[in-house]
A = this chain, B = another copy of it.
Amino acid sequence: MRITALAGGVGGARFLRGLRSHLDATPELADAELTVIGNTGDDLSLFGLRVCPDLDTLVYTLGGGIHEEQGWGRADESHRVQGELAAYGAVPQWFALGDLDFGTHIVRSQWLGQGLSLSEVTARLAERWGLPERRITLLPMSDSPVETHVVIEDGDAHRAVHFQEWWVRMQAKVPAQRFQAVGMDRATAAPGVLDAIRQADVVLLPPSNPVVSIGIILGVPGVRDALRGTTAPVVGVSPLIGGMPVRGHADACLAAIGVECTAAAVAGLYEDFLDGWLVSQEDAASVRLRRAQVRGRPLLMTDRAAAAEIAGAALELALELRTA
């Protein structure tokens, strides 16, 4: 069984950790191979180091190093390096980087500087975190740098800021006019990405941000076509509960692209390839889709067990659609 998932950061990572637990606990699924295609549009350079927030959240969460309450960054973290950078007046200071986390960014930057691709670097990082032995392959969506920029109003003019500046520094409170995936015109899917979708038995979309996580991955040349063309059922999990994001700012992102903040409208973004749509129980009655089968379930990932149950429900729906 080959399962392929597209994922952003916290929500995607928690869902996928739940999925792996569900697989491991299910004898006939325990040897399933999980390939995760991570969003790299959030990537940025800080202090001359390359930082990949979504890939790191995925690798830390799936590898057991995540700061559990926070959802991103490392457990048992300290911030001595950043304190020094602040003392030296280095900028920016609005993006929190811990000491353990700095280790990842330093080694990634070193390896990239030695000519390794982001795929190769990501495989090395995943190796240290034991992902291969857990039958998880983590792929960046692309080895080309793609950066999501956010166009905001600035007085009478518009200006574009890096996604992280909008998301972290501005807390997504400044209305976004639109998003730009800078570099996407030159980007190609990373090795293995398109095949992982085409050759999958099941494709899952975790409850990641539909605009700036899943949406960015869908923009990588070939990805959307691969999803349309794959024989695998594609099942998504709604990131909204009662028309509101559980965490993050999906509402602000949907507003920017003129899409209603409802489970039905989000499904509309995936209309051309979506086969199944797992929504929150309270949303189930209001979602009617022409093509995809809708199923209602409790979607709040309160803990690991809840995440495993949600992932199990998504997989169950996919397996039903596959044999149907």
Contact = CB atoms under 8 A, between A and B. Distances in A.
Interface stretch (A81-89, A226-234, A275-283, A288-296): A81-89
Contacts of A110: 47-48, 90
A120 to B, nearest CB: 13
A103 B87 CA distance: 9
6 contacts: A47-B106, A48-B110, A49-B106, A78-B78, A84-B107, A102-B102
Nearest to A88: B107
Contacts of A128: 87-89
Interface of A: 47-49, 78, 80-85, 87-90, 99-100, 102-104, 106-107, 109-110, 113, 124-125, 128
A80 B99 contact: yes
Contacts of A82: 103
A104 B84 contact: yes
Contacts of A124: 88-89
A48 B48 CA distance: 10
Please give me the 8 A-B residue pairs with the lowest Cβ-Cβ distance, nearest first: A84-B103, A48-B110, A80-B99, A88-B107, A90-B107, A47-B110, A48-B113, A81-B103
A91 to B, nearest CB: 9
B81 A102 contact: yes
A103 B125 contact: no
A109 B48 contact: yes
Nearest to A121: B88
B80 A103 contact: yes
Contacts of A107: 47, 84-85, 88, 90
B109 A81 contact: no
B83 A80 contact: no
